[in-house]
Amino acid sequence: MGWRAASWALAAALVVYPALARAQDGESTAAGMISLRDAVKMAVKASPDEQAAAARVARADAEEDIAVAGWLPRAEVGVRGGASAERGTFLFRQDHFVINSAHGEARAGLRWTVFDFGRTSNAASAAEATHASAKHGLEATRIGVARQAASAYVTVLADEQLVGSKKIAVKHRTRFAAIAKGLVAQGVRPALDEQRAKVNLEAARHDLAIAEARLAIDRARLAVMLGLEPSRLPPLAQVTLPGAEDDAARATAVGEKSRPEVAQANTEVEASDRRVDAARAGWLPRVDVDVNGSYRLTRFDFADGMIPRAEATGVVAITVPLFDATIPARVDAARADLAAAQAREERVRRQVRLEAYEAAVSLKAARTLKVRARELSSSAQQALALIDARYASGLATSIELVDAEQADLDAREALIGAELRVQLATVDLFAATGRTSELGVSPAAREGGV
């Protein structure tokens, strides 16, 4: 029977799906199809969150340059010119005189803070740590985007399988309706069987329409993540994610060691600590060097030629703050920021450990459910084959047939759902333990792995 062969073929495909659906890097995909790794890369590239995180890195880099520039001297040059007219009266005389003059001047100056007892060095260290924190934040953002894209990808694949299962159900019930009609015509079964078969067929078509709508919506969501129009999303290549250990204790340890969120929180604490030191340095003296030079040419209307004047000065200044009410306030604010950063670090560590633990436990449970779903699917198919043969011979009622067919459909869909849960849990575990290369993201090298 064609429908029975199709049913067994679908179940077999679901069982061996991981072994037949390799689509990782290094494995070819059909022309016009998109792989999981390509989809993740597209999602990361198109993500506004990733672009915003990259902009924050660029800003932090610029702020680090600003802080480091405090070590360097500041030089400036200037040129100016002018003219004047002076009218006066000779002493004891009524005669008036007017003196006209013009001048031009060039100036150059250099100011250098030679030593400030840690203000500049601590500010530069804080800016460097902030820059590193922004980089870790960018990596964490990419992992989050990759996780969402990978989850959406495997969800669409599961939706496609679910639609295929619904189509087989429609095919089954179309055949059941034809058999029921024939048995009723022969007087073997009551007319109610034919009507019941028609109702079941319409219900299967309704379920198929719902599954197709869900597939269209999930494809649209994935397309938006990839920066594509929903109608332009290519077909998806089948994929099997690499295996992951579901040891919760190991996953927790690796997650805490590998996640960029933890490194980001650490560098934020370091930056806050350096800001405290910089604020304290406000009480200490500062040594500045000022060097200035100028050259001026002046011409008077009563004299021939230009009158030059050159001037150079050098100053070493030691500035000691005697009273500044803002300094203790800055120190208190910096200490409060440090305490907040330390609290955030602890919160991030707890959250990372919890996410890794939950992901490992979820994966272990999903694998157990998958085994049971496979056994249930096999039993349901055997029962359906037996009831189908009995019904065709007039030995089973339509209710028994419908129940067996529905049990088979439920078992097949349970297997699809179990496989999806395994895939989603695997994606979550990769993200929770920093195995971003498995999702198509290449972060900075880290130790550890699952």
Question: Rounded distance, CA 116 to CA 352, Å?
Answer: 40
Can you tell me whether residue 318 is helix, strand or coil? strand
Profile the chain (450 residues) by mean pLDDT over runs of 10 residues: 38 34 42 86 92 95 91 90 77 70 90 86 91 94 92 94 90 82 78 82 91 95 93 89 84 91 94 92 89 88 81 89 89 94 95 93 91 88 84 74 80 88 90 79 44
Write down the pLDDT at residue 442.
60
Question: Rounded distance, CA 227 to CA 153, Å?
Answer: 14
Q: How far is CA 283 from CA 14, 114, 138, 273, 286, in A?
A: 72, 17, 36, 17, 10
- pTM of the shown model: 0.77
Q: What are the chain's domains?
A: 2-72+134-246+357-439 (1.20.1600.10), 75-115+285-320 (2.20.200)
Write down the pLDDT at residue 167.
92
In total, the chain counts a number of residues equal to: 450
